A and B are shown apart, each in its own frame.
Chain A
Amino acid sequence: MISFTFNNQKIEAIEGMTIAAAIFSTGEKVLRQTRFGGDDRSIFCGIGICWDCVVTVDGVINQRACLIQVSDGMVVTS
């Protein structure tokens, strides 16, 4: 198992899992809030097409949580 943080919460994940899969496995669905409405968003297409699941990974914005695999110590924020 490896672990990473999502909005300062520590999450354990199996190696090879995407960020979205690891977060969903905890029961959490909300990945970010929208720019204008501040509405909660999650995965939608799940395969990298819709960009609805974008999060900030190790300081880099607009990364698709459904595609990027977690690595140990990764810092993910909404």
Chain B
Amino acid sequence: MIAIIGAGPAGLSAAAAATRRGEEVIIIDSSSQLGGQYWRHLPSARNDSHSLHYDFSKAQKLFDELLSQPLLTRYSNSQVWQAEKCGDQFHLYILRNGVEEKVVADKVILATGAYDRTIPFPGWTFPGVMTPGAAQAMLKGHGVLVGKKVVIAGTGPFILPVATGLAESGAEIVGLFEFNNPFRWIFNLHGLLLNPSRIAEAFYYLKKLQKHRVKIEFGKKVESATRSSAVVDGTEIECDVIAVGWGFAPDVTLAGILGAQLGVDSDGTVIVKVDRRQETNILGLFAAGEATGIGGSTLSMIEGRIAGGGRGGLSRWRAQVFANGLKKVYPVPSILTKNLPEETIICRCEEVTRGQICTSIDELGAQSARTAKLFTRAGMGLCQGRVCGRNVSEIVADHLVQKVSDSERIAGGQRPLAAPISLGELGDGLAKKF
């Protein structure tokens, strides 16, 4: 039995490849539907035309195949909170609709994906400031517009489909800001030329945005926010939503819990290290998709297929060249975490400011992000540092005039639990069902 964790492009491709080979598969996902974040869509009871997706046919094909696949068991609304390897088998502890249960598997494929990377700025905790992924999830998953006047900013190709989807659905995009210069692609042309479909996709969004008279401005970012405006380049823009994202951070928690080797990618994100067959250093534990390095849905599907026992071939190399180009064209400048005002909140959960983090170094003698965390509780809240961890490390290192080491980055990706669980849920294996 193969357990696949995550039902996005990588997880579904892995499930299809494995079941085609006659393997029994269980796919575990936190959502009620297949598709993950990338192929998020309206509940089946509501008619979704998929007009917000550039190309939904690949997803539909996988859904159709897998939903009629007798070898596949689906665990939806389920989260793996703990995992361990016992002999040759993996024990996965799952919270499913508020009930705790155990799944035993011979092989595990981690396809846990990624989430938006965020960087603090003054005002970023106001309601209405969110990630582009949040705005996208509300729209694609529920048909709900997060606001009427929206500013979208940050870096990376993802802000284009988010802006397009919101504009097409009736929001006014009052500002679209890409921090990096697109001419950087000139130095990474091979990545584009090997993947012409990605150029076509970009032009599809640009054309739609032009129709809605949305112009992209380059080299600008949201400097601060008030409850009803964003300040960009010294100019105040009235809006009710600000969506800012700086690329993505892989979700490596379960790999870390199972003792798999983690590494640091060229963009500084912590990733799961895998070999050509997508296997980690733990026998029988595989990882595919964004968890092994941010590369987009095409690469995720190919990696998933390989992890499921299928073939990759040249297509993997092409998609990998594109992924490498993305990291070079859309870097996140380190200046963003420097010179933030003292009162800016860095850890949203525990409400810790930059000033408190610096005080823990200057007055309490913190010598690292770890000790600063112990003094201030930055990174100790419900999200367990998923949002602030990397920023706290950068701020501490900057204040100490040091660089963040790879081992410190990797330590930041290690968490003892993959999701909080109440003692009630743990004790009787039963909690309130919603």
Q: Show the binding face of A for B, using Cβ within 8 Å.
A: 14-18, 20-21, 24-25, 29-31, 34-37, 39-52, 54, 57-60, 62-63, 66-69, 71, 74
**B432 beta carbon closer than 8 Å to chain A:** yes
Cβ-defined contact, A42 with B128, below 8 A: yes
Which residue on chain B has the smallest CB distance to residue A37?
B351
Which residue on chain A has the smallest CB distance to residue B131?
A45
Cβ-defined contact, B349 with A51, below 8 A: yes
B: number of interface residues (CB 8 Å): 41
7 contacts between A and B (CB under 8 A): A40-B126, A40-B127, A43-B130, A45-B116, A46-B135, A47-B115, A67-B30
Cβ-defined contact, A47 with B146, below 8 A: no
Cβ-defined contact, A66 with B134, below 8 A: yes
Quote the shortest CB–CB distance from A20 to chain B (angstroms): 7
Cβ-defined contact, B45 with A16, below 8 A: yes
Which residue on chain B has the smallest CB distance to residue A16?
B43
**B386 beta carbon closer than 8 Å to chain A:** yes
Tally inter-chain residue pairs, CB-CB below 8 A. Answer: 110
Assembled-state Cα–Cα distance A34/B381 (Å): 12
B131 contacts across to A, CB distance below 8 A: 44-46
Which residue on chain B has the smallest CB distance to residue A24?
B144
Checking B381, B386, B434 against A49 with a beta-carbon cut-off of 8 angstroms, the contacting residue is B386
Assembled-state Cα–Cα distance A60/B184 (Å): 50
Cβ-defined contact, A42 with B434, below 8 A: no
Cβ-defined contact, A21 with B138, below 8 A: yes
Task: Report if A51-B381 is in contact (Cβ < 8 Å); known contacts: A16-B43, A16-B45.
Answer: yes
A29 contacts across to B, CB distance below 8 A: 127-128, 240
Which residue on chain B has the smallest CB distance to residue A58?
B432
Cβ-defined contact, B43 with A50, below 8 A: no
Chain B interface SS verdict (over half): loop
Cβ-defined contact, A44 with B351, below 8 A: no
Which residue on chain A has the smallest CB distance to residue B44?
A16
Cβ-defined contact, B125 with A21, below 8 A: no
Cβ-defined contact, A69 with B137, below 8 A: no
Known contacts A21-B144, A51-B381, then 7 further A-B pairs from the complex at CB < 8 Å, ordered by chain A residue: A14-B46, A16-B46, A42-B128, A45-B118, A50-B349, A50-B383, A69-B32
**B67 beta carbon closer than 8 Å to chain A:** no
Which residue on chain A has the smallest CB distance to residue B148?
A27
Q: Which of A50, A54, A59, A66 has the most CB of B within 10 A?
A: A50
Quote the shortest CB–CB distance from A1 to chain B (angstroms): 12
A66 contacts across to B, CB distance below 8 A: 134, 137
Cβ-defined contact, A46 with B46, below 8 A: no
Task: Report if A45-B387 is in contact (Cβ < 8 Å); known contacts: A14-B46, A16-B43.
Answer: yes
Checking B126, B136, B240, B348 against A50 with a beta-carbon cut-off of 8 angstroms, the contacting residue is B348
Cβ-defined contact, A21 with B382, below 8 A: no
Quote the shortest CB–CB distance from A54 to chain B (angstroms): 7
Assembled-state Cα–Cα distance A37/B348 (Å): 11
Assembled-state Cα–Cα distance A14/B142 (Å): 9
Q: Lowest 8 CB-CB distances: which A-B pairs, in order?
A: A46-B134, A16-B43, A42-B127, A51-B382, A21-B142, A29-B127, A46-B137, A49-B115
> B421-434 CB contact bits vs A (8 Å, 1 = yes)?
00000000001101
B191 contacts across to A, CB distance below 8 A: none
Task: Report if A57-B348 is in contact (Cβ < 8 Å); known contacts: A16-B32, A45-B387.
Answer: no
Assembled-state Cα–Cα distance A71/B141 (Å): 17
Checking A17, A40, A46 against B130 with a beta-carbon cut-off of 8 angstroms, the contacting residue is A46
Cβ-defined contact, A47 with B137, below 8 A: yes
Q: Which of A39, A42, A57 has the most CB of B within 10 A?
A: A42
**B280 beta carbon closer than 8 Å to chain A:** no
Quote the shortest CB–CB distance from B170 to chain A (angstroms): 13
**B391 beta carbon closer than 8 Å to chain A:** no
Which residue on chain A has the smallest CB distance to residue B419?
A48
Cβ-defined contact, A47 with B351, below 8 A: no
Which residue on chain A has the smallest CB distance to residue B115?
A49
**B129 beta carbon closer than 8 Å to chain A:** yes
Quote the shortest CB–CB distance from A74 to chain B (angstroms): 7
Cβ-defined contact, A24 with B382, below 8 A: no
Assembled-state Cα–Cα distance A14/B143 (Å): 10
Q: Which of B32, B133, B138 has the most CB of A within 10 A?
A: B138
B126 contacts across to A, CB distance below 8 A: 40
Checking B127, B142, B431 against A18 with a beta-carbon cut-off of 8 angstroms, the contacting residue is B142
Quote the shortest CB–CB distance from A12 to chain B (angstroms): 13
